[in-house]
């Protein structure tokens, strides 16, 4: 059984994330999507809220399991026997960052797990979680950048 892993802060999960995850789910029997704590960033939404949004956005994908964690990513991957991890790319800047990350991961994986990249579709290449957050915070319309279910949750969380 091929087992893949895709993770991110998903603050919030965008249609670009969903696109990458849908395509990655076709590459394996099981795809685990990890909602992570990024200690280098201050999240707009809590880990629990982000996890709920990811579950709502991905409920249509049958072979996906959602987890949340704050562990060391390579250790988590090694302890859970993943065949590969998936990273999404929107542009050259993403690639510059991701290639360094893949090289770091390879130090830990020692050939037991591969990093694969999936390019977002061009129509999603300008959408990032930070763009969604900024516009949402200013009460701008972010429909089309996140799923309807996620947008509903975002509004609910904002009004709490």
139: number of Cβ within 10 Å? 8
35 within 8 A of 66, measured Cβ to Cβ: yes
Q: Which of 112, 46, 66 is nearest to 85 (CA)?
A: 112
147 within 8 A of 133, measured Cβ to Cβ: no
Which of helix, strand or coil describes residue 31?
strand
127: its two tokens = 């959408």
109: its two tokens = 């994986």
DSSP 80: T
List residues with catalytic annotation.
17, 41, 90, 129
What does DSSP say about strands 30-36 and 114-119: parallel, antiparallel, or unpaired?
unpaired
7 within 8 A of 20, measured Cβ to Cβ: no
């Amino acid at each position: 059984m091929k087992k893949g892993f895709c993770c991110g802060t998903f603050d919030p999960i965008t249609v670009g994330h969903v696109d990458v995850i849908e395509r990655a789910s076709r590459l394996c029997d099981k795809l685990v999507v990890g909602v992570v704590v990024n200690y280098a960033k201050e999240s707009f939404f809590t880990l629990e809220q982000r996890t709920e949004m990811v579950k709502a956005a991905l409920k249509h994908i049958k072979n996906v399991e959602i987890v949340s964690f704050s562990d060391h990513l390579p250790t988590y991957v090694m302890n859970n026997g993943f065949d590969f991890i998936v990273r999404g790319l929107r542009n050259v800047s993403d690639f510059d960052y991701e290639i360094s990350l893949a090289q770091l991961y390879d130090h830990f994986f020692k050939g037991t797990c591969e990093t694969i990249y999936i390019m977002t579709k061009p129509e999603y290449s300008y959408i990032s979680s930070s763009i969604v957050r900024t516009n949402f915070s200013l009460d701008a319309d972010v429909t089309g950048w996140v799923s309807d279910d996620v947008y509903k949750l975002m509004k609910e969380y904002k009004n709490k």
